[in-house]
A and B are shown apart, each in its own frame.
Chain A
Amino acid sequence: MTATVAARPAAAPRPIDRGAVLAALAGFLLLALALASDVSTRFVALLLLGGTFGVVLFHAAFGFTAGWRRFMVERRGAGLRAQFLAIAIAMVLFAPMLASGEAFGRGVYGVLGPLGVSVAVGGFLFGFGMQLAGGCGSGTLFTVGGGSVRMLVTLAFFVFGSLIGSFHLPWWLELPSLGWISLGRELGYPSAVAVQIAALVALGAGSWWMERRRHGSAPVFGAAVPDGAPASLGARLLRGPWPLIWGAVALAALNALTMIVAGHPWAITSGFMLWGAKIASAIGVEVTAWSFWDPDGRGRMLEASVLTNSISVMNFGVILGALLAAGIAGRFATGARPSARSILAAAIGGTLMGYGARLGFGCNIGAMFSGIASGSLHGWLWFAVAWIGSALAIPLRPRFGLGN
C-alpha cells in the first residue's frame, strides 16, 4: 500500500485573524470562569477538551460527510479509512475502562442504543440529511466555528429537528426492537475488540482495493503532508492543515480522555435537544408535558443551567476551538455568500439530522464513533443505514447548487 502522496508546495501563509482569535479566547475565558465558579473544575476540563476537539477537527478537516461522499462519488477512501482508524483506536482505549466499569476511581459507561426500527429510521434520515446539509454532528460544530454562515443555518435546524425528535421518540421506541446489545457484555471485551477491529480492517481493505482498482494507487490515509501545509512541523501543528491520520489518532485519544473526565464517551446531539427544549420552554411551549421531558426525569435538566450539561459544554468548546484554529490559520469566514437553494438544503438537512439523531440514539459521533467503540451493535446498524441514506441524498445535491 502506498502510504503517502506528494503535496503541493505551501502557499504564502495567511495573516492571523486577530478578531477571531480574541473572540475565541474571550469565549473560553468567560465560560471557564462561570464553570469554575458555579459548576466544577471538571467542567472546565470538559470545555478545554471540547476546544481541543474543535482545533483537531478544523486543522485535520476531519469531516465524516465529505469522507463518505468522496468514496461514493470518486472512490477515494482515505477519509473513510481514517474514520475506521479513529474508531479502532478508541475501542482499544475504551475496552479496559468499560470492562472494569471505572477509570481512575470514577465510574464510566459506554454508549448503547437499541437494535430496532427507531435506530434504523433515525440513522437513515441522518445519513440523508448530512449530505444535504454538508456536515454531520461534529462537522456542523467545527464549520460553524470556522465561520460558515450556511452551517449556522444547519445548526439552527439541527436543534429544531432534535426537539421534534424528542417529542416523537417515545412512539418510535414502541416499534419492534431486538433490544440493547453490547458486544462487550455478550462476548467479553477482548473478543469484542478483536471482532470489531477485524470488521473495520475488512471494510478499510475493501475500500482500499476498490480505490486502487479505480485509480491505480490508493494512499491509505491520504497525504502525509497535506496540500498547502507549512514546511516546518511547528507551524503545521499550530496553523494546519494536518494530515488525516493526525486527526484520527487525536480524536480517538480525546474520546478516551472524555470518557475519563466525563464518565461517558464523546457525544454531541443530546446537547442540541436540550438547547431546543430550553428555547421552546422560554417561548411558552409546555415541553415538560411531553413524556420525553418528564419533570421527574429529563425535565430536571430544563431547570438547571445549560452549563451543568456536560455535552453542551463540550459542544461550546468545539465551536470555540474551531474558531481559534480558524483565526490562527487566517481562514475564518472565508466562504462566499451562500445561495438561497443551498440555505434551503441546509435547513432540510439540519432538520433531518436532528430528528434522525434522536431516533438513532446519536449522530456520527454518539452512535457511530462512540457507539461502535463502546461495542454497541446499534452503532453498526446506524452506520449501515446512514450509508444508504447518504448514497440516496448525494445525487440530489446538485439540485440545491451543491457540488459533488
Chain B
Amino acid sequence: MPDPLNRWILGAALALAALLIAADHIATTRPAEARADAAAADSAEAGD
C-alpha cells in the first residue's frame, strides 16, 4: 500500500537539493576564466 508520507519526504528532499544547488552555484559562480579553470579540473577528474 503506497504511503502518502513518501511523497512529502521526497518533495522535501527535492526542494532541499534545489536549495543546496542554488546556494552552491550562487556562492561559487565567478568570472569566465575561473570557470574555465574549474572545467579543466572537471575534465581531469571524470575518469570514473
Interface residues of A (CB under 8 A from B): 19, 23, 27, 30-31, 34, 38-39, 109, 111-113, 144, 147, 149, 152, 262-264, 267, 269-270, 278-279, 297-298, 300-301, 303-311, 316, 332-337, 357, 361-363, 366-367, 371
Which residue from chain A places its CB closest to the CB of B43 in the assembled complex? A263
Contact B14 A39 (CB under 8 A): no
Q: What would be 13 A-B contacts, judged by CB atoms less than 8 Å apart?
A: A23-B11, A27-B18, A297-B41, A298-B41, A298-B44, A303-B28, A304-B28, A304-B41, A305-B25, A311-B45, A335-B3, A366-B48, A367-B48
Number of residues in B with C-beta < 8 Å to the partner? Answer: 31
Contact A307 B25 (CB under 8 A): yes
Contact B46 A149 (CB under 8 A): no
Contact A149 B10 (CB under 8 A): yes
Contact A306 B21 (CB under 8 A): yes
Q: Across the interface, which residues of B come within 8 angstroms of A27, CB to CB?
A: 14, 18
Contact B25 A147 (CB under 8 A): no
Asked whether A301 and B25 contact (CB < 8 A) given A333-B2, A335-B2, the answer is no
Asked whether A337 and B6 contact (CB < 8 A) given A264-B46, A304-B35, the answer is yes
Nearest Cβ on chain B to A259's Cβ, whole angstroms: 11
The answer, among A109, A301, A335, for a CB contact under 8 Å with B41, is: A301
Which residue from chain A places its CB closest to the CB of B26 in the assembled complex? A305
Q: Across the interface, which residues of A come within 8 angstroms of B11, CB to CB?
A: 23
Contact B10 A152 (CB under 8 A): yes
Contact A310 B38 (CB under 8 A): no
Nearest Cβ on chain B to A169's Cβ, whole angstroms: 11
Q: Across the interface, which residues of B come within 8 angstroms of A144, CB to CB?
A: 10
Nearest Cβ on chain A to B21's Cβ, whole angstroms: 6
Q: Across the interface, which residues of B come within 8 angstroms of A39, CB to CB?
A: 35
Contact B37 A300 (CB under 8 A): yes
Which residue from chain B places its CB closest to the CB of A275 in the assembled complex? B20
The answer, among B2, B14, B24, for a CB contact under 8 Å with A278, is: B24
Contact B48 A270 (CB under 8 A): yes
Asked whether A149 and B38 contact (CB < 8 A) given A38-B25, A111-B47, the answer is no
Contact A336 B46 (CB under 8 A): no
Contact A362 B48 (CB under 8 A): yes
Nearest Cβ on chain A to B10's Cβ, whole angstroms: 6
Asked whether A305 and B24 contact (CB < 8 A) given A300-B38, A337-B6, the answer is yes
Contact A301 B21 (CB under 8 A): no
Q: Across the interface, which residues of A come within 8 angstroms of B6, CB to CB?
A: 147, 149, 333, 335, 337
Q: Across the interface, which residues of A come within 8 angstroms of B2, CB to CB?
A: 333-336
Q: Across the interface, which residues of B come within 8 angstroms of A30, CB to CB?
A: 18
